[in-house]
Amino acid sequence: MFGNWLKTMILMAGILALFAAVGGAIGGAQGMLIAFLLGAGMNFFAYWFSDKMVLRMYNAQEVDEASSPYLYNLVKELAQRAQIPMPRVYIIDEAQPNAFATGRNPDHAAVAATTGILQMLSARELRGVMAHELTHVKHRDILISTISATVAGAISFIAQFGMLFGGSRDDRPNPIVSIIVMILAPIAAMLIQMAISRAREFEADRGGAEISGDPHALADALAKIDAYARGIPMQTAEAHPETAQMMIMNPLSGGGIRGLFSTHPATEERIGRLRAMA
CB 53 within 8 A of CB 150: yes
What residues have CB less than 8 Å from 180, skipping those under 6 apart?
25
143/156 Cα distance (integer angstroms):
20
CB 98 within 8 A of CB 234: yes
CB 249 within 8 A of CB 96: no
What residues have CB less than 8 Å from 255, skipping those under 6 apart?
none
Residue 173, phi then psi, degrees to nearest 5: -75, 165
**133 an active-site residue?**
yes
Q: Which residue is catalytic, options 133, 203, 238, 269?
A: 133
Q: What is the 3-state secondary structure (H, E, C) of 91-123?
A: EECCCCCCEEEEECCHHHEEEEEEHHHHHHCCH
- Any idea which residues carry the catalytic annotation? 133
